[in-house]
Chain A
Amino acid sequence: MTGRERLIPYAFLLPALALIVIFNLFPTVATLIESLHGNSLVRGGRVFVGLGNFNRVLNDPIFWKSMQVTGLFSVLVNPIQVALALGLALLANSRVRGISVFRSIYLLPVAVSINVTTVVWGLMLNSEGGLINGMLSLVGIERQPFLIAPTHALWSIIILATWKGVPLWTLFFLAGLQGIPQTVIEAARIDGAGRMQVFRYVTLPLLRGVLLFVLVADTVANFLLFAPVLLLTKGGPQLSTNLVMYETYRRGFVYGDLGVSSAMLSLMLLLVFAVIGVQFTLLRRRT
């Protein structure tokens, strides 16, 4: 009886854990292993090539260009989204009549998939007669080549990613703000702190953990952005939107070079772990 009893938790765990091991954990390890293999032209199978793929990736100007684009994209999109999300959370945390209606409206972009966002914004940013150019024309600004000029295309991706992303990150900040006891803020106000001071010295320090989480999660999420590039720009014009995630897809599934693609993905995995590692270290230091 006790022997059987001891096995019960494992039986409860088995289905979910087995699937996670097979379809999540194993592929993580295998990505790293696969990156050490290449297509054999002689035997037609997979052969061990050591660090050959990494060698090819790291000597590939297109890969470096895509890293550059991804770096630029990250440096722009993440601070923009995090700042807007924090601002929107402060706004949505106002205690005014009808606030829940506004909060529901702000949830809409969260509900809409990135593909839908891409289709709708792709047409709105149409350089001939899109809605955005239509609005700009009202204030006398000439048509902008949003998706077709190397100077504009990355910004177009940033705009649509921001429309979709900000409301999601707002939810985290809002949850964080609602976790701050009202008495703490009132105490600061009674002590004579102004609105900005309360934000700077009370609210912001209490949101530190959430801020750090959102920064990391947003960075990782934007790192994985793929559909807008595939559907709107195919990495162009002149590789100006060729984000690493799209480059791995192009190499692996358009050109069939799974080894090089895996090597790129391995590098991205290491980057993601590095970012998360930094987050954990910072969080630990706090406690």
Chain B
Amino acid sequence: MGAKTGRAISGAQPLQGLKLRQHVWRHTGERLLIYFLLVLVALLALLPLMWAFAASFTPNAKVFEHAFPFSLRALFPVEFTLEAYGAIFARGFGDALKNSFWLAGVTVVLGGTINALAGFAFARFEFRGKRFLFLTVILLPFLVPVDLTAIPRFILVNTLDWRNTWQALIVPGLGNSLAIFLFRQFFEEIPQDLIDAARVDGASWLQLFFNVVLPLSRPVLITAALFLFLQQWDAYFWPLLVAPRPELRLVQVAISTAVEEHRTRWNEQLAGSMLAAIVPILLLLPFQRYYIQAVTSSGLKD
């Protein structure tokens, strides 16, 4: 509880002398305890990443040197070297990064557009079957985890002859219930006057959507883009099934493959992991408000 509450209470019942001193002390003690816990949890969150980061710049033979027995030097590169990064890039990690950026980028643009269109239809039109479509095509798939239905999707992709193609990675991830839901929620708030005005000016619905609605929708566009980007950046199970070809290798698959194939090149495994981690971290920290909105609205959904 913050200072505000404390002041409100002390204002209601004036504290004096000993009582006041006790109150202040309890408050300080409480605050110290809160900071102690905050720092403790922060260390728990940070420690694995700090060690991994340091170890990725350490010669492989020294990765565990200060980990066991533990000393604080484990959190800093012992003999700074870029050998691990050099090795993984020599083996094509750069291509995996490029592939993941490309996949995530295409998904953001195409998926963002079609989900926004669908969200707009649900938000601003009345039409037959609206409720039915919303329940079966938006809510139901949202509840079914995609990993549980991977086999028929895998067979379908094989039947289409898409195995080991970009389509197999891109197309199934475009239509997204949560993104549609986010867009619908946002578009419902756009004032009717704006839409009417554009309609009176003779704009078609498509023009209205792209020239009036989208420019007003920066927050939801960022939220949806972030969500779609991270979904593809983190993709692992599906790419593992449909795109084993090395030319299509994605980041998460690359770091996992490194664990399987180079079990004892620890610093290289960690170097790949750090590169895979830094991208979402750099995206999430500045846009955390938007991301948290995307995540938590999945729970507030009726």
Q: Do A and B make up one complex?
A: yes
A9 to chain B: closest residue by CB: B125
| A106 contact from B45, B47, B153, B177, Cβ within 8 A | B45
Q: Which residues on the A side are within 8 Å of B137 (C-beta)?
A: 17, 20-21, 25
Cβ-based interface call for B197 (8 A): no
A contact residues around B172 at 8 Å (CB): 19, 23
In the complex the two chains form, is B70's CB within 8 Å of A24's CB? no
Hey, which bits of chain A sit against chain B, CB under 8 A? 6, 8-10, 12-13, 15-28, 30-31, 33-34, 88, 91-92, 94-96, 99, 102-117, 119-124, 126, 128-131, 133-135, 137-138, 163, 167-168, 171-172, 175, 182, 185-186, 189-190, 195, 210, 213-214, 217, 220, 223-224, 226-227, 230-231, 245, 252-253, 258, 261-262, 265, 268-269, 272-273, 276
A19-B114, A123-B270 are known contacts; what are 13 more A-B pairs with Cβ within 8 Å? A9-B121, A12-B117, A16-B114, A17-B118, A17-B175, A20-B137, A28-B149, A105-B42, A115-B252, A119-B270, A163-B48, A182-B5, A276-B143
A92 nearest in chain B by CB position: B38
Cβ contact within 8 Å between B120 and A131: no
- Interface residues of B: mostly helix, strand, loop or mixed? helix
* Given known A27-B156, A115-B236, A163-B44, contact A269–B148 (CB-CB < 8 A): yes
Nearest opposing residue in chain B for A175, CB measure: B296
A-B contact count (CB 8 A): 285
Q: Which residues of B contact A210 (CB under 8 A)?
A: 299
- With A116-B276, A134-B67 known as contacts, the answer to whether A245 contacts B42 (CB < 8 A) is no
Which of these, A19, A25, A171, contacts B174 with CB under 8 Å?
A19
Point out the residue from A94, A133, A268 that lies within 8 Å of B34, measured CB to CB.
A94
A96 pairs with B171, CB closer than 8 A: no
Q: Please indicate the chain B residues that have their CB under 8 angstroms from the CB of A128 in the complex.
A: 64, 68
Known: A105-B46, A220-B145. A16 touches B288 (CB 8 A): no
User: CB-CB < 8 A to A185: which residues of B?
Assistant: 5
Among A31, A122, A276, residue most surrounded by chain B Cβ atoms (within 10 Å): A31
Residues of A within 8 A of B66 (CB): 134
B153: chain A residues at CB < 8 Å are 23, 27
1/0 contact string of B1-13 vs chain A (CB within 8 Å):
1111100110010
Interface size class of B (residues with CB under 8 A): 35 or more
Residue ID in chain B nearest A119 by CB atoms: B273
A9 to B47 CA separation, bound complex (whole angstroms): 51
Q: Is B5 within 8 A of A116, CB to CB? A: no
A113 touches B288 (CB 8 A): no
- Residues of A near B277 (CB, < 8 A) are 111-113, 116
Stretch of B15-23, B89-97, B215-223, B279-287 on the interface side:
B279-287
Q: A19-B175, A120-B49, A186-B8 are in contact. Are A95 and B68 (CB under 8 A)?
A: no
Tell me if A272 and B64 are in contact (CB < 8 A). Answer: no
Answer yes or no: B200 CB below 8 A from chain A CBs.
Answer: no
Judged by a CB distance under 8 angstroms, whether B180 is at the interface is yes
Identity of the chain A residue whose Cβ is nearest the Cβ of B40 in the assembled complex? A91
